[in-house]
Homo-oligomer: A and B are copies of this chain.
Amino acid sequence: MLRRAGAFPRVSIDTGKSLIKFCNSCGAEVTHRIPDGDSLLRAVCDACGTIHYQNPKIVVGCLPAHGDRILICKRAIEPRYGLWTLPAGFMENNESASEGAAREALEEANARVEIEDLYTVYSIPHISQVYMMFRARLLDTDVSPGVESLEVKLVREGEIPWDQLAFAMVKRTLEHYLEDRKRGSFTPRFGDIRPPNR
């Protein structure tokens, strides 16, 4: 989905939590405390009893391949405006992860894909996001930039702009893919991505 303030919601960079001040159920001011039987600070409404949980968000995407070429997109939105990425975005309610990955390819690159296996899964705890990237078969090469992309293109291994990639998860996913393709066998990977300066 396109989010007006960029691809990321209004959150504090340190915690991934947006600041809840009011109860979205009754409109009363909330207090921030640890509810009975819980161990973490939550926004609690003492007026109506609602506890406002905040949880990590899922970003779904894919690596669309057509022969030996891979579809990449130049970001038209912050963060990382002007850098290259694989089509990916926030998973929506009432869709599966693979449906979301296909939707993002269509939205960002007008690309029709057949989603194959889940390929990389990365937790990024400091921004409370989990990336789920699928391998995908690009069904035709009739692609063009969606509103979140400045440019889209199909690149061979030697043409990947390694120093212009938007996110660590894009670099890792591409590296694993190229390694696995050489080996002739794709193995799913999972792991965590921590801030580079810690």
Contacts and interface: CB of A to CB of B under 8 A. Distances in A.
Contacts of A9: 53
Centre residue among A26, A52, A93 by max chain B CB count within 10 A: A93
Given A21-B25, A128-B94, A147-B37, A3 B51 contact: yes
B22 A26 contact: yes
A125 B99 contact: yes
Interface residues of A, number: 60
Dominant secondary structure at the A interface: loop
B55 A91 contact: yes
B96 A123 contact: yes
A82 interface: no
B37 A93 contact: no
A164 interface: no
Given A10-B50, A38-B2, A98 B27 contact: no
Interface of A: 1-4, 9-10, 15-27, 29-30, 35-40, 43, 50-58, 90-99, 117-118, 121, 123, 125-126, 128, 130, 132, 147, 188, 190, 192
